[in-house]
Structure 1
């Protein structure tokens, strides 16, 4: 989140964000029932960017963002079923048979984007869709995700720590790894990753189960089954328990202890797709976030890149000379041109980070390398990740906390928007 904090300051939500977050100082990796064999120091992020890295509960972060948007601007309970485009407008039809029209349609609707599917179907019929964009989204991991209820720090002492504690555990005899971190709300957020022997896709998986006359993939109890398979994995976390006579001792937790303290409706099984699409726009429609680039969550770059997409696109919309189709098409090209290189860099970082979570030889090599990185090289890597931090050119500049350790890259869209913003301010003054 560190590359986004200057943006949050511009949006005047930084203080609220910090209030619901915990800073991240270390990330430790261990084999089940053993001590940590690798610890990465994230405390140096503040020296690099002026801000520490933060861990935040996703629901709390959503609530913070939603508070900034007038309720009239958000419509719930509607799904897009049809997209129509004319020369001067784009229209969407929703499941309640309503039509909405505008100059631009932004598809920010996730990895299996309805907007992308509609746009790609049209391009495919026209013979304009690259072959790679017609291929299924691949994944080599499935994942259980959840977050416990708020717990008593006296019972779980690790929750008392000022900084978020982030643990990665590699299961001893199973193809699983477990990531757990603590939040400001005294909860444990957790992920259980199942590492598949080879990459597959949802379409291939569904076909396999259909051929085998199995309904496992679509069975609503699949998440429960995965919980049952992994419940005895031992975590490097202790719980204080009161024994007979009032004496207190410590008990090592298993992932079952977290399952049991998580509301069942908040446990989901998801697939961790990885792909960068080639085609991000067509006509008056453009894609954003997971809809055009799906990253493995290991490096925490998915949401960061989606928000950076939004910043760049907003800057370019601000400087749009007209709402003609040609102007919009050129703007979309500038958007993809600016974003593609940072997205590709984040994609590679996410792939490498995902190796830390895997078992086998390649995972062991990556963990060894990260565990023995010299301090200067670790700083260099974190600095490279934090260098790209586009700001909103049409909002008041936020006071920069960067102390020169890393000079941020120049964002062309932000520079253009800033120039126009200042010109308009001068006109207002005159």
Structure 2
């Protein structure tokens, strides 16, 4: 089998590369960034859940990631009406996540995106991770797929995988071609949309005398739903190194269409606007304002991002396949963007490994037969993953709605769920729906937890 061209060296693309490396399937990553590793200052939090830990264990990475992360033991939900002078957050309920560890064998782990990303990069040969590669055009026929970059370089292989994020250039080029041919599904003519904007950051190491929870072995997440004329939901997640990752979700007045191409040109202004708007309001931490946390976050590391929503129906066409955010965009709860990208990578790697193992047995087959086998396996990946990805998108939406629901009805619903319904039923409803999909690599030994 010829080379697999992976466009996009994000977590999904790196996950696929790690799997192909172990499957002895040749590949190359084309990444538009010019630096291989992320700076450790700043960045958001990623939850490594029980869905994906068996796969990380197969790859031999789980023990390393455990040392860089904190197990999540509980989530405390608070509410506050910040229009009332002197109002302080009060506890609505506590979700004990140790039940999930008992039921699904693994604690969810809170890790910073840079540390997770850099761990993956450490296990990718530098010769296969090409930087400064922006895709300009893609094409395919029955024998190969070709990718042309803006620097004039050309790459040819058996398969092209678009793992280049929610604003995927591969998806954009592929859909333009399918639209011209009259083959693009009606649902895929619609843009992604967003109704919330998030402000994200990670503090410098905190003083344990002021923030005693930073020295705890487990991560006790705190979430506040704030009511008033500036509604928001704010997360605080304790990390290793006495740091705190935080995220503010701001509802917008109306639903917005996402552009075809991601635009970071106004990032500084967007961060300034959001941080100024909410600076004086109360965080989930007693006596600590949002402004206090903003000040404890290294300058220039905060991000203001739209919370895109989207599930595309066309994941593959011929020798081209999409994975991760390029074909489904979930809300970040329960680590679903990372988890779903990893599950996509495992399913696709299994398909590509199956094709590469079949080729020596079919040496007398025609090139058309080999092409058809590859296309059928890619379609099999699409069919296997779409249903589970849709469940993840819907489940993350329900969690998002629950945690951002403003007004008395939202407060009552949250209180009932966290106090009147047995916690094991709540966690089973969410957890069982997600953990029924725990893919493993067919070509690697299986491990028990």
> Does the pair score TM above 0.5?
yes
Query: How far off its partner does 1:319 sit?
Result: 0.7
Say whether residues 1:225 and 2:273 are aligned partners: yes
Say whether residues 1:397 and 2:446 are aligned partners: yes
- Does the CA-based 8 Å contact 1:111-1:294 persist in structure 2? yes
Q: Which of 281, 287, 294 is residue 322 of structure 2 equivalent to?
A: 287
Instruction: Flag structure 2 segments of 5+ consecutive residues without an equivalent.
Output: 1-48, 81-87, 360-366
Q: Distance in 2 between matches of 1:336 and 1:234?
A: 45
**CA RMSD of the aligned region, Å?**
2.1
Gap change, CA 1:376 and 1:253, over 3 Å in 2: closer
- Does the CA-based 8 Å contact 2:267-2:304 persist in structure 1? no
The aligned length equals 378
Q: TM-score, normalised by structure 2?
A: 0.80
Gap change, CA 1:309 and 1:151, over 3 Å in 2: same
Rg (Cα) greater in structure: 1
Gap change, CA 1:236 and 1:142, over 3 Å in 2: closer
Gap change, CA 1:316 and 1:366, over 3 Å in 2: farther
Q: Distance in 2 between matches of 1:384 and 1:134?
A: 29
Query: How far off its partner does 1:38 sit?
Result: 1.9
Gap change, CA 1:351 and 1:72, over 3 Å in 2: same
Q: Which of 176, 196, 221 is residue 232 of structure 2 equivalent to?
A: 176
Gap change, CA 1:219 and 1:26, over 3 Å in 2: closer
Q: Distance in 2 between matches of 1:270 and 1:194?
A: 10
Instruction: Flag structure 1 segments of 5+ consecutive residues without an equivalent.
Output: 207-214, 239-251, 402-430
Q: Distance in 2 between matches of 1:161 and 1:267?
A: 25
Higher relative contact order (CA 8 A, sep 6+): 2
Partner of 1:363: 410
Say whether residues 1:200 and 2:246 are aligned partners: no
Matches within 5 A, 1:18-417: 18-32=66-80, 33-173=88-228, 174-203=230-259, 218=266, 220-238=268-286, 252-320=287-355, 321-322=358-359, 324-361=370-407, 363-364=410-411, 366-371=413-418, 372-381=420-429, 382-398=431-447, 400-401=448-449
- Does the CA-based 8 Å contact 1:164-1:182 persist in structure 2? yes
What is the SS of the residue equivalent to 1:272?
strand
Partner of 1:413: none
What is the SS of the residue equivalent to 2:142?
coil
Partner of 1:245: none
